[in-house]
Chains A and B, each alone.
Chain A
Amino acid sequence: MRLQILDSGHGFGTRTLFALIRAVSRQPVLDVIKLVKYRPDYYGKPMSVITQEAMRGDSAWSVADRELMAAFVAMTNHCDFCVKAHSAVADLAYRGEENVAMLLCDPTLAGIVEPLRATMLMLRKLTKEHSVDADDMRDVLAAGASAQQIDDALAICFSFDVIVRLADSFDFSVPSTEAFAAGAKYLLARGYR
């Protein structure tokens, strides 16, 4: 990572936790964990409340759909770390019913059912152009998404618009597929707290 404090500036208790994670998972500690555990009162804790609510709070979107949206926002932002991390969680959450990599590789998102597809297209425009207008929202509503579902999707987009920027800015390492798989199991079981 580009800041040494994020690699090795944690307190004794956190370093002990990292040693435990490495021992139990047999994988390196993901850089995103190092980030949220560094001075957690400043960024990690308050941000985790938002991400947990967006990704695991009550919503008409399934957890799998929300992880797919997170991976999609990451892909639109060209963030390799977040794409791999959240594609792995979405794959687990869909339990083999969907092939997330294939869904995401089609720019028209043709394999995704409405209203999720329309919602994701709106999120892509928001991410690429930094804004959307009322007509864009009317399209999503017409596709069958409720206003609350759109609101929930915007919460996911907010979280990942922050996280992908930090991943690229601090230069997160992209570890092995096995490390992401271990992280995905944890995120699916425990969430983002």
Chain B
Amino acid sequence: MANIGKAREALLRRVLEGDGKASTLERRAAFNNSDLSEPLRQLVDEVALNAKAISDEDFNRARQSGLSEDQIFEIVVCAAIGQASRQYDAAKAALEAARGD
């Protein structure tokens, strides 16, 4: 049986709390898709909920706001993992509820 629990914890610790170019506050905000100002708010929201709609212009606006490519890389990674985590946690809770019948 696949068990990704510990590996997921390690991934979240690394991307959110480990060394990085973006601040831990920015990475956490991207993960949570909250408390961000433009242009990151739109970019992070699109990564989480409509990644197909992301354009070169979204990345250009992030660069023009003063962010380095490494900072944008980390923020996008955190946004993607954050949304996937919310969906995973919701589904795990639903499975536990069904098993508890």
Contacts and interface: CB of A to CB of B under 8 A. Distances in A.
Nearest to A142: B98
Contact of B79 (A2, A5, A165): A165
A2 B79 CA distance: 16
Interface string B1-40: 1111001101100110010100000000000000000000
A171 B59 CA distance: 11
Contacts of A77: 51-52
Contact of B4 (A5, A42, A53): A53
Chain A, interface SS category: helix
Contacts of B59: 2-3
A133 B90 CA distance: 8
A157 B88 contact: yes
Interface string A145-189: 001101110110111011011111111000000000000000000
B87 A58 contact: no
Contact of B92 (A50, A58, A135, A154): A154
A43 to B, nearest CB: 5
Interface residues of A, number: 57
A103 B50 CA distance: 25
B11 A3 contact: no
Contact of A3 (B3, B69, B81, B97): B69
Nearest to A49: B7
A151 B95 contact: yes
Contacts of A133: 94, 97
Interface string B63-101: 000000110111011011101111110111011011101
Contacts of A47: 11
6 contacts: A5-B73, A47-B11, A53-B3, A59-B2, A77-B51, A168-B52
Interface of A: 2-6, 9, 38-39, 41-43, 46-47, 49-50, 53-54, 57-60, 77-79, 122, 126-127, 130-138, 141, 147-148, 150-152, 154-155, 157-159, 161-162, 164-171
Interface of B: 1-4, 7-8, 10-11, 14-15, 18, 20, 46-49, 51-52, 54, 56, 59, 69-70, 72-74, 76-77, 79-81, 83-88, 90-92, 94-95, 97-99, 101
Given A79-B52, A130-B49, A131-B87, 8 more contacts: A3-B72, A59-B1, A126-B90, A141-B99, A165-B47, A165-B51, A169-B47, A170-B76
